[in-house]
Amino acid sequence: MRTLLASLVGLGLVFTVGPGFAPPASAQDAEAVAQAALRKAPVWDGHNDVPIQLRGRYRNVIGDFDFRDTTDTGGEEHETSWNGRVMHTDIARLRKGGVGAQFWSVYVTAALPEPEAVQATIEQIDVTRRLIARYPGDLQLALTSGDVERAMRKGRIASLIGMEGGHSIGSSLAVLRQMHALGARYMTLTHSKNTPWADSATDTAEHDGLTDFGKNVVREMNRIGMLVDLSHVSEKTMNDALDVARAPVIFSHSGARAVTEHPRNVSDSVLKRLPANGGIVMAVAYPSYISEARKQWGAAVRAEAARAETLNPGNPDAAKAQVENWKSANPEPVSTIAQLADHIDHIRKVAGIDHIGIGGDYDGMATGPEGMEDVTGYPNLFAELARRGYSRADLEKISSRNMMRVMRKAEAYAARRSADAPIESPVPE
């Protein structure tokens, strides 16, 4: 027996794989496994920024906007958003990508004063709901996990609303509750800047995580069944939220910090806490978060831009030309599906297969990785995972079953607390 085993090892016919993994699949078999998984459990994506594209490109006037096909959205008339790049998302491409449920982000910039952010967020909820209503044969507004299930069964793309940044509630629990009443089903506690009650991953810490009010925001979100999203927040804010939360949290679009050292990604110490909470990290496709080389290149571009501005005072055209010349000599590194899969591998290793989802961040970045440049690329990612030994059951968990479990548990917790009074906080004098 030992001789036979040694011979098989020598021929490369024995594979050493981690717990729960199958041997790597051939390319053809991997594609078949991925397609079968996505037919059974379509992708439930955690984050897509189409609504801010509508605001930036069309000022939310969408009567002539055709969401069935947005491949003609490049050019000078759209230079207000991503320098005239073609949008990543439309109904046809969502279908091709195997997307069955989508959280549409009603992001507004964190630079807005809070009262303006509240108004702008309501406007973004409005344009999102109007967009969904225009395509009843393809899109269906979803407010509950049951709505998602029914929409998928009918072959429609379940359309949920997620708020990106606590500035959108104006430091008001009353506004939070009304945003939920308008249809928002998650809120990212911060975006790129701190709020008066929570620290961001990309700002100088002010609160050492969550303030007492911030902890009440988490409690109230749990009470009403609104998912707490910890993408964009500092590690201390993540831990404070996990200390308070009684329902599963999500990271709607984040990677693993151990793979790419970026403050937007999730550390191993936080990943290790996810099984006890029941939450998930929805793996992001944003190149700077999944590729160390791309992250370093982006930092170098910003440094060169600062240098060019210093060397060309009062001459922005010369400064821009200097940066473009630098880019020509230093091309942007290509990010890959394999790098994104490395993040998923790591999340699985630390937190487990039950704590992974997908949150592409399409239309909120310039491009996705090579082979996943837009929303059509999800089958390529799932084929890569199948090649790495993920089973069909594993892929179904990642695509949507984990997210379905999280939302159902959040709804169940809210149902148990339905008799609890709303948390009150005094309005300013």
Block means of pLDDT (10 residues each) for the chain, length 429 residues? 38 40 74 97 98 96 98 80 85 98 98 98 98 98 98 98 98 98 98 98 98 98 98 98 98 98 98 98 98 91 94 94 94 95 98 98 97 98 97 98 98 98 93
How far apart are the C-alpha atoms of 367 and 85, rounded to whole Å? Answer: 9
* Contact yes or no for 382/255 (Cβ under 8 A): no
* Contact yes or no for 65/425 (Cβ under 8 A): no
Let me know if 66 is a catalytic residue: no
* Contact yes or no for 224/177 (Cβ under 8 A): yes
Name the phi and psi angles at 148, rounded to 5: -60, -45
Torsion of CA 117, 119, 121, 125, to 10 degrees: 180
- 3-state SS, 253-288, equals EECECCCCCCCCCECHHHHCCHHHHCCEEEECCCHH
Name the phi and psi angles at 100, rounded to 5: -110, -15
Identify the active-site residue in 78, 88, 180, 232.
Answer: 232
Q: Which residues pair with 358 in a beta bridge?
A: 45, 283
Let me know if 253 is a catalytic residue: yes
Torsion of CA 187, 188, 189, 191, to 10 degrees: -140
Q: In the structure encoding, which two tokens stand for residue 174, read together?
A: 């009353």
Identify the active-site residue in 45, 90, 164, 199.
Answer: 164
In this prediction, residue 429 carries a pLDDT of: 83
Identify the active-site residue in 88, 253, 262, 355.
Answer: 253
Note the pTM of the prediction, 2 decimals. 0.92
* Contact yes or no for 406/280 (Cβ under 8 A): yes
In this prediction, residue 26 carries a pLDDT of: 74
Residue of 275, 273, 179, 270 whose CA lies nearest to 227: 179
DSSP state of 368: -
Identify the active-site residue in 45, 90, 361, 363.
Answer: 361
DSSP state of 149: H
Write out pLDDT tens, residues 269-300: 999 999 999 999 999 999 999 999 999 998 99
Identify the active-site residue in 45, 49, 90, 199.
Answer: 49
Output the CA torsion sign for 255, 256, 258, 264.
Answer: positive
For the chain, which residues make up each domain, given as ranges?
24-291+335-416, 292-334
Let me know if 164 is a catalytic residue: yes
How far apart are the C-alpha atoms of 178 and 407, rounded to whole Å? Answer: 19
Identify the active-site residue in 191, 207, 262, 355.
Answer: 191
Let me know if 88 is a catalytic residue: no
Identify the active-site residue in 47, 78, 207, 355.
Answer: 47
Q: In the structure encoding, which two tokens stand for residue 199, read together?
A: 């620290």
In this prediction, residue 80 carries a pLDDT of: 64
Q: Which residues pair with 40 in a beta bridge?
A: none
Cβ neighbours, 10 Å, residue 398: 29
Residue of 211, 216, 119, 204 whose CA lies nearest to 168: 119
Residue of 276, 232, 228, 227 whose CA lies nearest to 254: 232
H or E element, residue 45 = strand 43-48
Let me know if 346 is a catalytic residue: no
CATH code at 24-291+335-416: 3.20.20.140
